[in-house]
Amino acid sequence: MAYAESEITARLADYVVSARTADLPDKVRHEALRSFFNIVGCTIGGARHEIVDLADKTLAPFAGPQQATLFARGRKADIMHAALINCFASSIYSFDDTHAQAVVHPSGPVAAAVLAFAEMRPVSGSDLLIAFALGVELECRLCKAVSVAPAVGSMAWSGTGISGGLGAVVAVGKLMNLDVERMRWAIGIALSQAAGFRAMHGTMQASMMPAQGAPVGLRAAVLAERGFTASSVALEGKYGFLTVFCEKPDLDALAGGLGSRFELLRNTYKPYPCGIVIHPIIDACLQLRREKGITADRIARVDIQASPGTMALCNNRNPKDELQAHVSLHHWVAVAFIRGTARIQDMDTETAVKDPALMAFQSKVEAVLNPAIAADGTELTVTLTDGSVHVCKIEHGIGSAANPMSDADLERKFVDMSEPVIGAVRTRELVAKSWGIASLIDAGELSRASA
C-alpha cells in the first residue's frame, strides 16, 4: 500500500476535497447518474407508503422551518426531517440499489442529504452529482472494508446503517467546500453516530436505520463547517470506527486506488420490488408472455427449477399480505403471467395479494430445487391447456451484476413507481430533470418539481 495506515481518514478527506468532475471517468459519471436517477424514482415510489405516512406524521410535530421538500408529500420541513423522510421513503420497498459485494444500499442516504441541502443553499446539478458520486463511492468502500473478505466483520451490522452517514457527510461536505481539516471532523462526527443491526429486519425500523444516515451526515457537515471538532482520525485512530465495527478491516478496499478504482461501478438496481432470488423467474415469465404471447388463460401448469436460495427464501404459496408477497415466487409468477408486470402496486394487500385470479393461478405453479441453478438464474417450463410445452432458461436475471438493467429499464422502473403517486405529466418532468440533473443551474429545482 502506498499510504500509511495512520492516514486513512486524511486520505479519504483529501480525495473528496480535491476531486473534480473531470477526474471521474465517463463510465463512473454515468453510473453515478444511473444510481441517482434510480433513487429519485424510489423516493417518489415510496413517498405515500402508509409506514412513511406514520413516520412523517409522528415526527412532524418536532420538525423545523420549511427548508426542503418532502418528495411527493406536498409539504416542506427543515432539511433534517426532509432528508430523513425522503430516505425512509426510498428504502421502504427495499427496491433501491445494492452494491454487488457488500450488503449496502448506498444511494438513499447520500441522495436525500444532498437534495435537502441543495434547497437550503443553492448548488448546481453538476456539483450535486459529483458530490453524490463521491458519497456513494466512500460509503461502498467503507461497508466493503468491514464486511467483505479479506475483511473479517460481523453479518449482524446493518451495512447501510453504519456507512450511510459517511456517504451523506462527505457529499454534503463537498457541496460546502469544506477544507480537509473540517472534512475530517465532519467524517468523525458522522461516524460516531453510525448505528444499526440486522435484528430490525422485517420491521418498520429496518428502513429507519439507513434513513438516519441522511440527517446524521447533514448534521455532521453543518457542525464541522462551523468549527465543531471531532477526532481527525475517526476511522483508524485508537478506539476508532475500524476497531469497533470489525475484527479485521480491509484497508486497501477502503483507501487504496482512490480516483482510479471505483466501487460505484459495482452498484446494481432491483428491477422488481421483491426478493432478489425471484427476479430471474419473473424475467422468464415476462419473456414467454412477450415473445410467445403466452397468457394466463392458456396455461395449465408452470414448473420451475429454482436455486437453493430461491427455495429456502421464496417457495411460499398464497401469501397473506404485502410483507409475505414480497418473498413468494408463486405470487409473482401469477402477477407476471396475468398482469404482464411486476410493480409495487402488484403486491398491494387488497388489490393484488387478495385478488382471486392471482390467488387461483398460484395452484398451477410448482417449484423444485435444482442445485445447479445459480441464485440469479432459473429454468421455467410452461405447459399450455392445448398440451404444448414452452421452456425458458435464464442464466443471469436482469439487474444482476452480469446483466445490469439498461437505462431504458431504469426509466421504465421509475415511471412504474412514480406514475401512481404523482401522475404521468409530473413523472415525465421528473424523469427529464433527473436524467438531466448535471445541466440544472439550481439542483433544488428537482426536489421542488416533486412536491
Binding site for a second copy (CB under 8 A): 51, 54-55, 57-59, 61-65, 67, 78-81, 154-158, 161, 185, 188-189, 192-201, 203-205, 208-209, 212, 219, 222-223, 226-231, 233-234, 237-241, 243-244
- Minimal distance in Å, beta carbon 181 to a second copy? 12
Minimum distance from residue 83 beta carbon to a second copy (Å): 10
Task: Specify the residue, 102 or 374, whose C-beta has the smaller distance to a second copy.
Answer: 102
Task: Give ∠ CA 34-39-41 in degrees, rounded to 5.
Answer: 100
DSSP 171-193: HHHHHTT--HHHHHHHHHHHHTT
* Cβ 65 to a second copy shortest distance, Å: 7
Cβ closer to a second copy: 323 or 368? 323
Q: At closest approach, how far in Å is the CB of 57 from a second copy? A: 8
Residue with cell 409539504: 75
Q: Indicate the residue among 134 and 191 with the shorter CB distance to a second copy.
A: 191
The residue (of 9 and 43) whose beta carbon lies closer to a second copy is 9
Q: Which is nearer to a second copy, 75 or 412 (CB)?
A: 75
DSSP, collapsed to helix, strand or coil, labels residue 141 as: helix
Of the pair 242, 338, the CB lying nearest a second copy is at: 242
Residue 267 Cβ vs a second copy, minimum distance, rounded to whole Å: 24
Q: How far is the CB of 272 from a second copy (least distance, A)?
A: 25
Q: Closest distance between a second copy and the C-beta of residue 344, in Å?
A: 20
Closest CB 204 distance from a second copy, rounded Å: 5
Nearer to a second copy, 104 or 230 (CB): 230
Cis amide linkage into residue 150, ω under 30° from 0: yes
Least Cα distance to 236 among 2, 4, 1, 8 occurs for 8
Phi and psi torsions of 66, nearest 5°? -75, 85
Hey, what's the cell of 266? 459495482
Question: Cell numbers of 66, please?
Answer: 420549511
Selection from 101, 89, 197 nearest residue 143 by Cα: 101
Q: Residue 40 half-sphere exposure, CB side, CA atoms within 13 Å?
A: 34
- At residue 344, the 3 state secondary structure works out as helix
**Contact (Cβ atoms closer than 8 angstroms) between residue 99 and residue 91:** no
| Residue 28 vs 51, nearer CB to a second copy | 51
Residue 54's DSSP bridge partners are none
Q: How many CA atoms lie within 13 A of 393 on its CB side?
A: 5
Strands 299-306 and 365-369: parallel
